[in-house]
Amino acid sequence: MRLGDEVLFYHSQEGNCIMGKMIVIREAHQDPTTADTRWVSVTFEPVNTFKSPISLSQIKTTKELENIGLIKQPRLAVMPLKKEEFEQIINLSL
């Protein structure tokens, strides 16, 4: 992830849904919660919370999103999206 990248916040612990959009304000850096150099962190700033979260079942039934990593591995922490996929998800929030 690069400075200024837009990202989606997916709540995987409860609800399995996309809650909103954020922006990267600090690129990968040492995770301050551990001395283990294998752990890195990225810092985000919230942009907006969706009025209605986008559920995993809604994503699964959207043909344009059938090949995203979240469908194949729903426990992914981070995954890339094509611009069209990102925009499709944003459209689901409207």
Give pLDDT tens digits for 27-64: 999 999 999 999 999 999 999 999 999 999 999 999 99
**With 80 as the cut, is the pLDDT of residue 76 above it?**
no
Ordered domains of the chain (ranges, CATH): 6-74 (3.10.590.10)
Quote the CA–CA distance of 73 and 69 in Å, as a whole number. 6
What pLDDT does residue 21 have?
A: 97
Coil/strand/helix, residue 87: helix
Q: What rounded mean pLDDT belongs to the chain?
A: 92
* CA separation, residue 72 to residues 13, 46, 65 (Å): 17, 27, 11
Quote the CA–CA distance of 45 and 23 in Å, as a whole number. 5
Name the phi and psi angles at 92, rounded to 5: -65, -25
